[in-house]
Amino acid sequence: MKPANNAPVYIGAYKELTEIARKHGYAMAVHGSVARDLDLICIPWIDDADDPQAVVDEITSRFAIKETDKPPRVREHGRIVYTLLVSFGDCFIDLSFTPRAAR
């Protein structure tokens, strides 16, 4: 039998996190196994999607979740990654944003 992991915590939070992302103009998808951490990617879905920090700020103000990286990391293809710590246990969310188009 495999050891228990945090997948139920992550899956339980996904719906509300997705609603926050949509409110700010992003589509959100799960990326990865959801075993060690929750890897989420946000894709701008409307022309005037908000700044990624607005999404992170709403998440951290509504839930017992806080930012661990300031400033966020910039990864391949300009993807911006925030690592968020869920207030209990070893639960982490890697929240990535693909770049918004220049206006």
Does some domain include residue 102? no
Residue 89 has pLDDT above 70, yes or no: no
Backbone angles phi, psi at 18, to 5 degrees: -65, -40
Express as a percent the part of the chain with pLDDT over 70.
96
> Does any domain span residue 81?
yes
Range(s) of the domain holding residue 44: 7-97
How large is the average pLDDT for residues 9-23? 93
CATH number at residue 48: 3.30.460
Count of domains for the chain: 1
pTM for the model: 0.90
